[in-house]
Amino acid sequence: MAGRDKKETAMTGRADATALRAKKIIARAPARVDPAGGGTDAPPYCVDYGGAVVNFSVARYSFASVELWPKERGVQIYSHDLKTGAQAASAKELKFDGHLDFLKAFVKRLVGPEHGCLIITQSEIPERTGLGGSGAMGVAMAGAITRALGQYLTKDEVALLANEVERKDVAHSGGSQDSFGSAIGGAKLITYRKGGGETCERLKIPDKTLAELERDSLMIYTGSVHLSGSIHSDIKKWYHQENSPTIQAMDHLKAAAQRAALALTAGDINGYIECLNASRVNHYALHPSCDSDRLRQFFTALEPHIRGGKTSGAGGGGFIFIHAKPGHRGECVQTAESLGGRVWDFKFDHEGLVTREEEASDVAQVFDPANSRLF
């Protein structure tokens, strides 16, 4: 994909499939925040008008381990976070029943009938909080499974594959910025072409600016979740109205992302913060469900101590991403915690998707369907 000097790959080479079946593949994929342009990556706007998103990969991760084994042993899936699992005689026989359907979709799409498998997942990213957690888990799943099968995919291809499974097979609404934010590390400008297609460009930000972003940025969980699917549905309804205010807000979001990319590469923090704030205002203008009293409570209380900030992801709740005034980081933490918020330091992940190989386990069965726990 255009925009980088060379294609990054999710694995270093093709290996013999028989040897890989005796190994366990571990994949790690980061969360993301979207300081500018979020929402313009989702259809129909990105197809009708093109879009742009500035997206930072964050050092908080989703993990997936994949172990291929003979088809006679069937398919077993386990989520450490949900403390539950599922199993079937084959990937084809997994049923979508509201139980681990997201993980099942990747197994059904990617694991062929000639294999059984054991898949175990875990995440540091809270669900429904605006950090692209499902995108990160999808990238981890796609990266681990394809490497286990001996397939050679670039990170861009893993991102597109993971997004396709989530949007088509799982039927989650949204765009592709979450998948690219997870597969490709660092700061990126993702540009969407009118009519379809995208490019992901790593931004070359001066070291001093990167250090300032990590020093003064904070991620604050407001204590309320957001439902991105319903928010995307609300936005689409407004989008199709005559003289839609949503389209105008999207235009402003796209322009803010383009300006933010230029500011960041120039080391212009003031210009970046202007775009961060413009994105917050226009994000709320997409639809009332993007805003909430809880979010406004946090921003009002934090206002004396921050230069800028916006809600992460679709909005309505979840995390906010703020840039503190010099010397006001402590006050931001105290203010957020006094409101019941949880504060995370911000640190870039510069690697994106990482996979590694380990020795396979010797256990015959890890998941017990009678009590849904790991032995």
Q: What are the domain boundaries of the chain?
A: 17-359
Token couple for 228: 């991105």
Q: What CATH architecture does domain 17-359 belong to?
A: 2-Layer Sandwich (3.30)
For residue 202, the cross-strand partners are 188
Q: Which residues of the chain have pLDDT under 70?
A: 1-22, 224-232, 287-289, 314-316, 361-375
Characterize 8-18 residue by residue with b for buried, 16 or more Cβ atoms within 10 angstroms of its Cβ, and e for exposed: bbbbeeebeee
pLDDT of residue 229: 52
Q: What does the alpha-carbon distance between residue 56 and residue 182 come to, in Å, rounded to a whole number?
A: 9
Q: How many helices (H) and strands (E) does the chain have?
A: 12, 14
What does the alpha-carbon distance between residue 318 and residue 38 come to, in Å, rounded to a whole number? 15
pLDDT value of residue 63: 98
Count Cβ neighbours within 10 Å for each residue of 119-146 and write b for 16 or more, e otherwise: bbbebbbbebbbbbbbbbbbbbbbbbbb
Q: How far is CA 348 from the centre of its chain?
A: 14
What per-residue confidence (pLDDT) applies to 18?
44
Q: How far is residue 348's CA from residue 213's CA, in Å, rounded to a whole number? A: 9
Q: Which amino acid is at 349?
A: D
Rounded Cα gap, residues 300 and 336, in angstroms: 11
The predicted structure's pLDDT at residue 242: 77
Whether the bond between 44 and the residue before it is cis, its omega within 30 degrees of 0, is yes
Contact (Cβ atoms closer than 8 angstroms) between residue 258 and residue 54: no
